Amino acid sequence: MKLKNRALPLAAAVALPLALTGTAATAATPDPTPTPTTCTYSPAVPADNFKGIPVFDAAKTAKPYHATLRTSQGAITFQALTDKAPCTTFSFRFLAEHDYFNRTHCHRLTTQRLYVLQCGDPTGTGSGGPGYSFPDENLTGATYPAGTVAMANAGPNTNGSQFFFVWKDTKLSPAYTPFGRVTAGLDVLQKIAAGGEDDQNNPGDGYPTLPVDIRQVRITNH
């Protein structure tokens, strides 16, 4: 499923399935390989609000952390699954520590079939990305209950900056890397969902009626 379009995709508006908005992405086959000890971040386009390409640091990656997104609708905090998705959590931390997500907004809300809020695109179009991509991970047996934080993509191994929150238990193919678990603010996500969206992509899939502006993302080590 592509979370809209390039990334669900989620990019272009990663299309649901969570692809970068646009057309749905082809489901990826669950990855049976062990979690890598090093991560490769490859240059890719687009490079919106480019902050550089991460250099993997295994020691830093192993440190647990929580991320708090301070939004115009309230704060949302999630625990990063650093042990299960080290490449993804390292990338998210890199972008957050370089203020990549600050002053961006969540551009997609789905209220039918899929129950997600998609964020992480500085262009707000669903087609933006950070200038690099990296492989999928943590897909074997992946499920997406409420509170899951996962990557949007435009197909296998096309992860960038776009991600989504699951605000209600949803069924997705195991094609989107789960890398976090909401520990506070699920009520904020449900409030946003209750506000509805404008159906601009499809019925039940559009821009949130309640604007979700990300003012700051703060990383706290735990």
> For residue 110, what are the contacts with CB-CB under 8 A and spacing of at least 6?
16, 116, 118, 197, 204, 205
Helix or strand holding residue 88 (H, E): helix 86-97
Please provide the average confidence, as pLDDT, over all residues in the chain: 88
How high is the pLDDT of residue 19? 54
Q: What is the full DSSP assignment across 178-213? A: EEEEEEE-HHHHHHHHHT-B--SSBTTEE-BSS--E
Q: What is the largest CA-CA distance in the chain?
A: 45
Rounded average pLDDT over 153-175:
97
Rounded average pLDDT over 3-29:
42
Say whether pLDDT at 93 is over 60.
yes
Say whether pLDDT at 37 is over 70.
no
| Three-class DSSP category at 91 | helix
Between CA 55 and CA 52 the distance in angstroms is 9
145-to-8, 89, 162, 183 alpha-carbon distances in Å: 17, 19, 19, 13
Which residue has better confidence, 47 or 2? 47
Handedness of CA 69, 214, 208, 205 (dihedral sign): negative
Angle at 19 between CA 16 and CA 21, to 5 degrees: 80
How high is the pLDDT of residue 1? 41
Between CA 121 and CA 134 the distance in angstroms is 16
How high is the pLDDT of residue 38? 79
How high is the pLDDT of residue 6? 42
Strand 9-10 relative to strand 163-166, pairing: unpaired
**pTM attached to this predicted model:** 0.87
